[in-house]
Structure 1
Amino acid sequence: MLLTISLIFGYDEGNTKRGDGMLEINKVNKRFGEETVLQDVDFLLQKGESVLLLGPNGAGKTTLIRIIMDFYRPDTGSVVWQSGKGNYKVGVVLQDPSIIDRLTVKEMIHYTRSLHKNPLSYEEVLQSCGLESQEKVRTENLSIGQKRRLTFSLALVGQPELLLMDEPTAGMDLSARKAFYQKIESLKQQGITILMTTHLLHEASMLGDRVLMLEKGMLKQDREIESITEESKWVRFSLKEESPLVSKRLEKIGFQYSTMQGKWEVNTSDADSLVRWLVTEQIQFEKLEIEKQTMDHFFEEMLDQEGDQNANSV
């Protein structure tokens, strides 16, 4: 079964709330046997935004994507498609690239194009996946990375309005990832709505407008990427001359010496005030760095907080 073609999802006329909304997840719950995989997941996906679904292994990311695709039914809750015209064209890229065997790349592209009313041209699709020299190669003989590139390009054949992707860059080499990032940026400029899972945190800040953080099946965070990166900053510097007295003063206001960085550092929501304090107190510093919070820091802090809560509940 080919899972990279565009799909048409019906329109649920009930519960439409906001004009710019495309997809609404309402209190979705899902269990497999005794295991709760999703619990009261609730969010609205707006038209034209790029949303990254983050979380550790087993958080429920793939299950949520498959519920949106109608592969699984939620036990309770609903998935509501909001559309004035009755349906959306949706492109899908699954975590495991699934392509029909015994077809060449050329035949696979032509077959997928035949399934759509207004498909991209053959040349556009072939150029998009960068497999011009593999045009006559059978799909089972492609590398994992080449299959990834092909499945991604096939998902765009029907010119979808929504693109659902589950770990789309897994197995791609560096050059393929760079091409993928450029394509995603182009799709965002075209106004295509994107929802994708990833385990590469730097992809969130590069590709996303918003991040949904799943932890043990529950939606822990729904935040704009910009609000996360601007929320706090790292202030780092070296002392021109180390002294126990200065060290104590720095430690008193929260600075710690990082042996990894080889500098004094602190994570703060008010970097300007701390720098002014350094100047006012005549701290002899050099090599000052002010770095925005990264998605890695945000993710680590979320997991640390969850771990603390679990420890306190024992």
Structure 2
Amino acid sequence: MTTSIPEIILNDGNKIPAVGFGTYKLKGNEGTAAIESAINHGYRLLDSAYNYENEGTVGAAIRRTSVPREELIITSKLPGRYHSYQDAVVTIQESLYRANLDYYDIYLIHWPNPNRDLYVEAWQALIDAKKWGLIRSIGVCNFLPEHLKRLQDETGVLPAINQIELHPFFNQEEQRKWHEEHGVVTESWSPLARANDVFQNKVLQEIATKYNKTVSQIILRWHYQLGAIAIPKSATSNRQLENISIFDFSLDDHAMQTIAELTLPDGRMKGQNPAVYEEF
């Protein structure tokens, strides 16, 4: 069984699915099998990163599946220790070698690392790599509006995507509003927050009961109606299908608002504030 997923148009004209598949911690044969299962269930957007150390696993899953490469949207990310221009160029090439791919559909800067202040240099490397045909679309993760504005001011190119921490306990309303006003697509990492916490939440359980859906389906539908691309991860076939089966219902305004009200002043799960956090 496969599920068809709606598409979203990026500011560069490329299209990507409205829900993707996270691959964090999926490695080796088990990880390859889980990713192959997700592809076979209908996922076409796969999210990886250099620092996940599983680009090779993603590449192996791509080779195992019968789905043509051109139908898949593969993402990876540049780590903070390689933000200098030349390091970034080499790392992008190394990412491709690891996955045995000719190009990435999406490549992102993983964190801005503002104290090092090299993210504009890294961004220029992504711009050039796109010109060389190594990347189809370029974007960032965890960039605040001030970082995004600087990229545009200094290079003339605004990211197509900003992947940020986004879940019911941290709904990023102001950040999402900035993205919408400037044509940047929001992508949600950890869309289900800490699964055990969120699945036991009484408010979400009540909404799930009302719609005869699971809590995860309610949350992922919430992301979709916000216009955010969620990238849930699961190694379990049934859960993979569950997470992608969210297009046969809609949440009403009251449900959307109720979920929005679960947000906390700083609901970041690990306190990773992009204004100061350094990732290497």
Shorter-chain TM-score bucket reads 0.3 to 0.5
Comparing both structures, which one devotes a greater share of its residues to strand? Answer: 1
TM-score norm. by structure 2 comes to 0.35
Query: Which has more helix, going by share of residues?
Result: 2
Q: Which has the larger radius of gyration?
A: 1
Please report the TM-score for the alignment, with normalisation by the length of structure 1: 0.32
